[in-house]
Structure formats: C-alpha cells, structure tokens
Structure 1
Amino acid sequence: MNLGVSLSWIAAVYWVGATTILVTSVVATILQPYIVGRRARRRDQPPVSIVLPLKLLEDGFERTQESAFAQNYPQFDVTASAVETDSPAVRKIREIFGRHTETPTRLLASTARFAASPKVDNLYAPFMQAENDVIFMKDANVLLEPDALAEHVRQLGDDVGLVCAIPYCARLENFPAHVEAAIINGPHARILFLASCLGQGHGIGKIMLFRRSDFLRAGGFDAISHTVGEDNALAKAMRRIGQRPVFSHRPVRQELGARCFYDVYQRQLRWSVTRRNDELISFLLEMNTQAFPSLVAGWLAAPLLGVAPLWGVAVTAALWFTLETLLSLAKGWQLSWTAPAVFIVREAVMLAVWVNAWMTNQVVWANGKVHARAAARPAPEEG
C-alpha cells in the first residue's frame, strides 16, 4: 500500500469519526433539556444570594441586569461588585437598584488583588459577604428568564457542588456577532450538550450556582485564583471533595449585540489558552469538532470512492452546514442570510485561535492584558 492510499484510509477513518461526533452532538443538543431535566429532583427553594460582577457598561446591560430582579423565586437578594467606585456600569446599577426597592441590594467595592483573573478579585467580596449559603453568580450579558433561578436550583442536589448552564448567543446585530455565535452555538455548545447527556459537567462561568460552604471546603479562592479559567478550576475543586459539577437542563441566553472582530478573536483566544493550560486533552481533541479538518479529510478520502477530491470537500461542507443550520432552526437560534460566509469565517477564526493558543499565555480580559496563569497570592483573610 503506497503512501497516498494510506493517507486516504487514515483520512476516511477520521472523517467517519468526526461525522459521527457531529451527528451525535446535534441529536444530544436537541434532547439534552429532556434528558437532564429528569435528573433535576430538588423541590425546596432555599434563600439565594445573586451576585453581579461589574466591569464594562455594554449594550443591553440594563436589560440583562434587571432580569435578575424578575425571578419568580420566594427569597433572594442581589449584590453587585466592582473595582471602580464610580463608573458608567456602577452608576447604571445604582439606577437599577433604585427601581427595585422591594429586593435587598448591596453594592460592594472590590479591593482584593491576589488572583490571576481580575474577575476572581472582583468576586471575593460578594462571595465572602453573601447573606445566604447558596450563591448564584451571573455575567453581565446573561439575560435570565423569570423562572431561571428556580429551574437551576432544582439541579443543586446533595451530591452536586456546582451548577452551570450552557450558553447560547442571541441578539446578534452585525457580522462579527454572527461569527462568534456560530462558534459558541456551534461546536462549543454541541460538545457541551453531548457531555451533559452523558452525565458529565464542567465549569462554564456565564452562570454559577453553588453553596458557599462547599466552596470553602473545596479550598475557596485559593483553589481558583491561579487561572483566568476560574469556572473550570471551581468544577475541579468540587470534584476533589466529592461534589459533582453539572450542567442545568436550562441553557442561558448570552446577548452579544454588535461585536468587533478583535474582541471576538481575543475572547476566543482567552478561552482556548485556558483550555490548553487546564484541560489539555480536551484542547487537543477540539480539532475533531471543527469542520476544517473534516474538509481536508474529505479531500484526501474521496479517491477511495472513485470521486474527485472537490466532491469530498463539497459533500463534507454541505453536511456540516446543513446539520448546524437545521439545529439552529430547531433550537430557535438566530440565523442570518450571511450564514454561508459566517460558516467559512468561523472555521478560519477557530483554526487561527487554536494555533495561536499554543504560542501565548497573554490574554485580553475587559480591555486589559493578563497572564493566563500568573502566580497567585493567597486569598486575603476575611476580617
């Protein structure tokens, strides 16, 4: 068997494997709410402290933050935290608090400076000073449905230490936003939904629901301060004390608005570098979830079927694009007439990010550069 034939057979095996993952993950994405929803058995509703870390005043901030107050839940309070004592985001959250006097609220100034991630520094005060043991943290661009808190709490069983939710992107207002949504709603979401159906959970920091008592028992901030991937570090810490991380049966809506390509690239690079540092095997396997390697495999394997290589590429591209488009329609996710161009640009961005992630630890967070694994100091003592 000559080298060309050997490459064709290797490519064919790869193509079959990648296509199987594609089809299986598409089916899992549709079935996950039903499968995982049956595992949500908690019926009581303990008091919850909702934590809102603040940084930038982005488009849609007011709408997403107000959604925290619209929860159909018997008892909760809301705490916001920010490094700046006066900023556009801080002024806006004060306005929002003023409209919801029926809910206990606090605005804390974050003075801690010990972690690799500025977000972890910002979370120190609200986590440690929360009124309740059960804490629900949400990012600023997450829009909660009125029953979201109640539904996520249903997953927080005695053996569950962390509940996260798989995000999907909405309110896409320009081409870069559609590209980012194609990444998050596409390969990233599909694999997470598949993992969830198989009973696996990981840290995804768009929302995090946990008991502070478990968090402290798992090492507290010392367990998550060494990385910008604090969500994944928290999931690992919970596993070490026998508490499972799980994905909720309810995804969360992440509003993108208008994006620029620089921000899209830098955000994807930060997450990719974090996975390379903290989940190397998953990072290595990411190429199996991207269409580009399958297009190459289709080109190389096509001669085994007696067809031209271009036919192998065309059939592979059509299969990936059609299945992902049908999935978006089934889930009610936003699509655009530019979807074919979005698909092509997405694959180029994902490949560039994956390659670049091998060569740097400098990542961008909230318009500033940080080291993905900077040496963290011990967390301060809570006085």
Structure 2
Amino acid sequence: MIAALIVLTLLGLHWISALLVIRRFDRPAADLPAGPLPRISLIRPVCGLDTHDPETFATSFDQIYPDWELVFCVARADDPAIPVLRRLIAAHPQVEARLMIGDHPITRNPKLNNLWQGWNAAEGEFVVLSDCNVLLPPDYLHQVLAAWQADTGLVSAPPVGVRAKGLWGAVEAAFLNGNQARLQLAADELGFGFAQGKTLMWRKADLDDAGGLALLGQDLAEDVAATKVVRGMGLQVRLTQDPFAQPIGQRRLGQVWGRQLRWSRVRRAGFPALFLLEPLNGPLIPLVLTLGFAPSALAPLLFAFAWYLPEGLLARQAGWRFAPIDLLAAMLRDVMMPVLWLFTFAGRGFDWRGTPMAPTQGGAIPMQVPAE
C-alpha cells in the first residue's frame, strides 16, 4: 500500500537522522591538528543587552587556547551593553581584548555592518564570528579548530537551547534541539554540512580572496550566503562535534512565532527547492496517512510513540532536557511547523532588531562597500 510505504519511509528517515546524531555524540572528541597552533581572532557582535548577555559575554574570556585575541563589535555608542563589556575587559587584563564601536554600511545586513571593523582589524589566521547569546565553553576555540580539515572552507555549529522556562521557552528549545540541531548535525554526518550563523570560523585569507565579508550580504542571512560561498570554492562546511549552548529563559508565543517565521523566510529565500520539501520534516503527513489506512483510536498514540521516541533518545544521549513539558513542546512545535511554512508565503521580508530585511530580485541584498 502506497500510503503505508510513505509513512514507513518518512518515519524511517526521521529515525535515521536521530540515530546519526546519537552516534556522533558517542564518538571521542576530535583532536587538534599537529604542529604549532594558528592565531585565532574571536569576534562577537553585540546589539543591545538581553537577560543572559552578561553571562554569555563573560564566557568569552575563559578560553584556554594559547594564541588568540577577543574583539567585541558594537554599532552604536549608546548601546546598553557597552558598560558591561568595558567592565569585563577591565576585569580580565590577561586577555587580549578590545571593544570596537561603529557601523559601516557594507550591506543591508546590520550584523555584517557591525562586524566589518572587527574583521578588518583581526590579526588571526583564523577568525571566529560568534554570536553574543551563546555560552562559550573554555575549549570553544579548540573545538572549532579541531573540526577543520584539508577540504574545509568554514567551520560552524548549531546552538542548543538550555535553561528554557515555561511552555513557550520549551517550544523554542524544541525547535532548536530536536529539529534544527538534529537535522544540521545529521546532514554533517552525511557530508552535507551547512552553516549556522551562531558560529562561523573562516581562514581569513580565504574569505578575503573570495570577496571579503561583504560577500556574505548577498542573502538574507550570512549563514546562507556563507554556505553558498564555501561550496562555490569547492570546499566543505564542517560542524564542530558538539553544538554550543544558548540560554533560552522565558518566552512568549509571539516571540517564538516571530523568530521561527523569520528563519523560515530566510530558508525560503536562500534554498527555495529545499524549502518546498519542508512539510515532509514533521509528523503531520505520515500521521494523516496513518489515520487513513489504520482508522483506529490507538493509531495516533502508537504513531506518536514511534515518532517522538528517537527525539527522546537523542536528548538523553546529548544531555538535553526532555521532561514531559518538553514532549508537549515538541508536539506544539510540530503543530506550528506546517502553519509557519504556509505563512512564509504571505511575505518575503521581516524586521530584525528594527531593520527591515527583504530579498531583492534573485535573492541578493544589494551591497555598497565604503571607500577606505
């Protein structure tokens, strides 16, 4: 029966993706390359001050890497994060750290405009662009460098949600962990790694030779553009073996919806063919088909058990929380996904921290590189 075959195929692919990532977490940590370690510039763009930011900022200073520098980039001189950053820099004189303030309109992407000054000032052979809301472990730079191989053009890593509070915080974590991190890490296991903007490590000369930081403004999001740039070089995007934690805290439905709709529109603009297949990533279609050929009261319960079991096993292996509220959150996430997919077609742009973002014809964002 065709319906049963489709159900088994989609359920099987769901299990395979989870098992690939479970196997990944079973492996020992990757080793650093032999020989002298290269200098690394760690650059963190900052915009505003959220609840967990003082803690995530502080983890920047704990790196055990032998040769590195730390650069914070802030666009506006009145940003409320600046006093916090200055206190942290003063409290860690042993770290080669600096704060750069200014905005340079090289693209319509405000994050790239903020990073421009730090990128140009970076002294490292490698540059790690790390979002300010991620908790960096002391061996963060070791981990990103260990993922670099001979055919690598970029090292990236997905975030995983931690410290979620309330139901909608758990839903946000369910999107990040059981869905996005699972798919991204599974793709990397199969050799099809793609970038996520929370962590991007480049060999600086590679991106400069290809066209520089402004090249990443050709799509709505720099990670989409980065994936295309690296593949255009004939190189691979590699992921760190483990993802890195992002504190979630309390969330409201509107916040979760807005963030997920923004990312959905980024995916639609960046990879339209793959976006059309996204309804297959979720239980709705196989559940409807199951009810069609097995109209029993037990059918949805058995199907839900078969669908959410691998996510629970993955969470246990990875050390992610998967309490009853997280199971409910995963179900709410899976109800939201097809609705989000449909709403994505209602518009092409979004607002990011007060900046309207929209693709132009062909998906590119116009660039204007300022004169030196």
TM-score normalized by structure 2? Answer: 0.93
1:45 and 1:153 in contact (8 A); partners too: no
Counterpart of 2:370, as a letter, is P
Q: Is 1:144 aligned to 2:136, yes or no?
A: yes
Residue 327 of structure 1: aligned partner: 314
Q: What does residue 366 of structure 2 align with?
A: 376
Please identify, of 273-282 and 201-210, the stretch whose mean Cα deviation from structure 2 is larger.
273-282
Distance 2:358 2:252 in 1: 23
Corresponding position: 1:189 with 2:181: yes
Counterpart CA distance in 2 for 1:286 and 1:42 is 41
| 1:176–1:261 contact (8 Å) kept in structure 2 | yes
Counterparts in 2 of 1:351-370, with a 5 A limit? Answer: 351-370=338-357
| Equivalent residue runs for 1:25-40 within 5 Å | 25-33=17-25
Q: Look up the SS of the partner of 2:324 in the other structure.
A: coil
Q: Tell me which moved more, 326-335 or 16-25.
A: 326-335
- Residue type of the alignment partner of 1:198: L
Alignment of 1:244-255 (within 5 A): 244-255=236-247
In 2, distance between residues paired with 1:225 and 1:375? 6
CA contact (8 A) 1:35 1:197 kept: no
Q: Which runs of 5+ in 1 are unaligned?
A: 1-8, 303-307
Per mean C-alpha deviation after superposition, the further-off stretch among 68-77 and 148-157 is 148-157
CA contact (8 A) 1:116 1:372 kept: no
TM-aligned CA deviation for residue 169 of structure 1 = 0.9
Following superposition, the deviation at residue 10 of structure 1 comes to: 3.7
Moved more, 176-185 or 325-334: 325-334
Q: Secondary structure at the match of 1:170?
A: strand
Partner of 1:18: 10
Distance 2:338 2:201 in 1: 33
Match of 2:145? 153
Change over 3 Å in CA distance of 1:116–1:300 after alignment to 2: farther
Q: CA deviation at 1:185?
A: 0.8
Q: Displacement of 1:41 after TM fit?
A: 4.6
TM-aligned CA deviation for residue 336 of structure 1:
3.4
Hey, what does 2:117 align to over in structure 1?
125
Secondary structure (helix, strand or coil) at the match of 1:225 reads helix
Q: Secondary structure at the match of 1:319?
A: helix
Provide closer, same or farther for how the CA distance between residues 232 and 36 of structure 1 changes in structure 2, counting only shifts above 3 A: farther
CA pair 187-348 structure 1, distance change in 2 beyond 3 A = same
Distance 1:223 1:190 in 2: 28
CA contact (8 A) 2:152 2:236 kept: yes
- TM-aligned CA distance change 1:91 to 1:97, over 3 Å: same
Structure 2 residue 227 is matched with structure 1 residue 240: no
One-letter identity of the residue aligned with 2:275: F
**Cα 1:335–1:161, aligned 2, differ >3 Å: closer, same or farther?**
same
Partners of 1:316 and 1:46 in 2: how far apart?
50
Which stretch shifts more, 254-263 or 218-227? 218-227
Q: Which amino acid aligns with 2:298?
A: W
Cα distance in 2 for residues equivalent to 1:353 and 1:44: 48
Alpha carbons of structure 1 residues 236 and 74: separation in structure 2 relative to 1, 3 Å: same
Secondary structure of 1:142 counterpart:
coil
Quote the Cα distance in structure 2 between the aligned partners of 1:157 and 1:339. Answer: 36
1:39 CA drift (Å):
8.6
Residue 73 (structure 2) pairs with residue 86 (structure 1): no
Contact 1:116 1:225 in 2 (8 A): yes
Could you tell me which runs of 5 or more consecutive residues in structure 2 were left unpaired when the two chains were aligned.
none
- Give the SS at the match of 2:369: coil
- C-alpha separation in 2, matches of 1:63 and 1:176: 22
1:119 maps to a residue whose letter is K
Alignment of 1:261-272 (within 5 A): 261-272=253-264
Which residue among 309, 324, 346 is the counterpart of 2:333? 346
Which residue type is aligned with residue 326 of structure 1?
A: L
**Number of aligned residues:** 369
CA distance, structure 1, for counterparts of residue 154 and residue 144 of structure 2: 10
**Counterpart for residue 258 of structure 1:** 250
Q: 1:39 to 1:352 in 2, by over 3 A?
A: farther
Identity of aligned residues (%): 27
Normalising by structure 1, report the TM-score. 0.90
SS in 2 for 1:254: strand
Post-superposition offset of 1:368: 4.5
| Amino acid in the other structure paired with 1:156 | W
2:68 is equivalent to residue 76 of structure 1:
yes
Tell me how far apart the structure 2 counterparts of residues 27 and 215 of structure 1 sit (CA, whole Å). Answer: 34
Q: Secondary structure at the match of 1:116?
A: coil
Letter in 2 for 1:353: L
What SS does structure 2 have at the residue aligned with 1:156? coil
Superimposed CA distance per residue, residues 313-337 of structure 1 (whole angstroms, 9 cap, x where no aligned partner): 2221121222212321221112333
2:303, 2:211 → 1: CA distance?
47
Q: Report what 1:202 is aligned to.
A: 194
Whole-Å separation in 1 of the counterparts to 2:252 and 2:356: 17
